[in-house]
A = this chain, B = another copy of it.
Amino acid sequence: MFEPSVYIGRRRALVAALASRGARDGLVAFPGNNESPINYPDNAYRFRQDSCFLYYFGIAEPGLAATIDLGAGRATLYADGLTIDDLVWTGPRPGVDEYRALCGADAVEPRSAFGRDVAAARGRCLFTPPYRADSAIELGEALGMAPKDLAAAASGALIAAVVAQREIKEDRELADIERAVDVSIDMHRAVIAAARPGVTEAAMMAEAYRVAYSGGGMPAFPAIATTKGSVLHNHGYPGTLADGGLFLLDAGAETVNGYAGDLTSTFPIGARYDDRQRAVYDIVLRAGEACASMMAPGVPYRDCHLAAARAIAEGLRALGVMRGDPDEAVAAGAHACFFPHGVGHQMGLDVHDMENLGEVNVGYDGQPKSAEFGLKSLRLAKPLKAGMVLTIEPGVYFIEGLIAAWKAEKRHSSFIDYAEAEKWLPVGGVRASGAARAGSASRSTSP
């Protein structure tokens, strides 16, 4: 974690931002994450602290909570001391006073007092939408609400203030993200080096994870490691690498401090791309370049996304898969048959940064998202700001079920030659990406 002054400063800035939004009173509640059971309570997944808790209090340990009293400008940490059983089973760890000092909180209370303090602040308690059911149960009990009703009762002012603060990365955060990207690049290099016919997808993902865990952190998200790149979020690893095919790796590491990397590479399992694979890969690269070349503070990322979409429509027209005017094709949404997702998202303490605060709040300035297939999956559309960190990850896919469904309903048939598209099904899917900060050179896994 960083120095205590970092967390004190961030909390002060949050209190000031909330005051400027009219929230001068009330209690901001930060339920830290608890252990998350795999198959019984004592067998838990690798612990991951809540990202807002990490940002404002920094301590990556389970069983903590915190509050900020906006009126008094006072931060309280809720933590329990060590028992002799804890000492034997999980070893020495800081006492509650050390924890308080590490995050610079003004006071420390027993963990059980969190519910009491939240209950006392009913009607003036600010919180973000809980995404873990145990936190929802605890908050709900304290506030007299059903767990499922909490998301709708989350504080819009708090969400807006947190987004405005967290989306502009501090230099220390940028340095940590660079480290995450370095480890992520090492993951890709190791997997590319391990690729050969006969190796299993499971062994490939295992090699990626080895590098992520060796870095001291963990995988930032479940790796996609697949010979079937046409399945966008393929989370199983049942296949085996075969000569002539492509392998798609979408994987990144998170640092000890919790910052994420996120890169995708698609590469031939054999010695080289065949002509069709190369042609599709070139389109994806051009789409990424089209997106990156538009990026600048003030430019809506939707426009960068559409620039990538246009490059894809243009490239596919040259291959005979699409036809007509590329701008019209993109305006109609025809390209989404081959590029059905968004070109990128913010990245920070979460790989899709702050996604639990709501995509519309994080990526759309609260404006509604498009309902159009493809565009509805764009996570970031609003104007870019200096200091943002985001990914550029275009892709071109030949998805059998999607092509069949659109072909059957003759959807966008003035822009798509389905008979031609079907010839490209063996290519599967190609995605390539880099991470960029607005106003700087991007880093990429592209060869």
Contact = CB atoms under 8 A, between A and B. Distances in A.
A90 B231 contact: yes
A40 B209 contact: no
Nearest to A215: B202
Interface in A78-121: 84, 87-92
Nearest to A42: B355
A38 B237 CA distance: 20
A273 interface: no
Contact of A200 (B87, B214, B221): B214
Interface stretch (A127-135, A263-271, A326-334, A414-422): A127-135
A340 interface: yes
Contact of A205 (B136, B211, B213, B355): B213
A202 to B, nearest CB: 5
Interface stretch (A43-51, A298-306, A308-316, A380-388): A43-51
Given A89-B233, A200-B216, A221 B43 contact: yes
Contact of A352 (B42, B205, B399): B42
From A41, A88, A134, A231, name the one whose CB has the most chain B CB atoms within 10 angstroms: A88
A401 interface: yes
A88 B213 contact: no
Contacts of A51: 39
B46 A222 contact: yes
Given A137-B137, A206-B213, A209-B209, A233 B351 contact: no
Nearest to A146: B141
Nearest to A204: B214
A60 to B, nearest CB: 10
Interface of A: 36-48, 50-51, 84, 87-92, 131-134, 136-137, 147-148, 200, 202-203, 205-207, 209-216, 221-222, 228, 230-235, 237, 340, 349-352, 355-356, 399, 401-402, 405
Given A91-B231, A206-B211, 19 more contacts: A36-B45, A38-B221, A39-B51, A39-B131, A43-B350, A43-B355, A44-B222, A84-B401, A84-B402, A88-B401, A88-B402, A91-B228, A133-B134, A137-B148, A202-B215, A202-B216, A203-B214, A206-B213, A207-B210
5 contacts: A91-B228, A91-B234, A202-B213, A203-B213, A206-B212
